Amino acid sequence: MTTLVIVDVQNDFCPGGSMAAPRGADVAAKLKDFLSANAGSYDHVVATQDWHIDPGSHWSDDPDFQDSWPVHCPAGEPGAQLHPLVPTAPIEARFKKGMYDAAYSGFEGRLDGEEDGALLGDWLRERGVTDIDVCGIATDFCVNATVGDALEQGFTVRVLSDLSAPIDEDGAKAKLEALAGRGATIVEDSATL
């Protein structure tokens, strides 16, 4: 069983948002085309979302851009919503993360952001998922953390790098190389799937 995990393709991470990845909107547009052509190839499609209620020191007026960041993705606000180009019909479940602290990995997210909602890894295992494809924003932060946790939890992982947008191109390249070294397959052209 294979699942597509769409990581944080949200308004605040796209141009015009408070923490935009330069190619964020391009990824949303490519993802729309990819899902149109490939949604039926997956047993499940899920999305993760930063969903901050009160994340403490994760938000800062003087961010260091490693552990603290400008205000972004406040729960229920437009910046926290999925980018409008991302088709929501194929998305079976949403895993919201970072309500009260920093959370980078989608595997920290809970179903619908509910305190007792299933964690992403548990939800996938309950459905017999063994393989996941991961894409989204930002390659060098939340995509990287999600893929790392997926590998640690025993999933077979492909990273759809052309459907992912980094904050820093060089940093993302190094992170992708490290993930490949840990066993992830890096797919540079998702049209070949």
Please state whether the predicted TM-score (pTM) of the whole model is above 0.85. yes
Catalytic (active-site) positions: 8, 97, 142
Q: What ranges make up the beta strands (E) of the chain? A: 2-7, 44-50, 93-97, 110-111, 131-137, 156-165, 185-187
Q: Under a CB-based contact definition with an 8 Å cutoff, are residues 147 and 136 in contact?
A: no
- The CATH superfamily of 2-187 is Isochorismatase-like (3.40.50.850)
**Residue of 70, 74, 147 lying closest to 104 (CA atoms):** 147
pLDDT along the chain (193 residues), means of 10: 98 95 96 94 98 80 76 91 97 94 94 93 98 98 98 99 96 97 98 91
pLDDT given for residue 62 in this prediction: 79
Q: pLDDT at position 182, please?
A: 98
- Map tokens 């019909």 to a residue: 89
Structure tokens, 103 = 């959370």
Buried/exposed 105-139: b ≥16 CB within 10 Å, e otherwise? bbbbbbbebeeebbbbbebbeeeebeebbbbbbbb
pLDDT of residue 51: 93
Residue 164, Cα to own-chain centre: how many angstroms?
9
Predicted local distance difference test score (pLDDT) of residue 109? 96
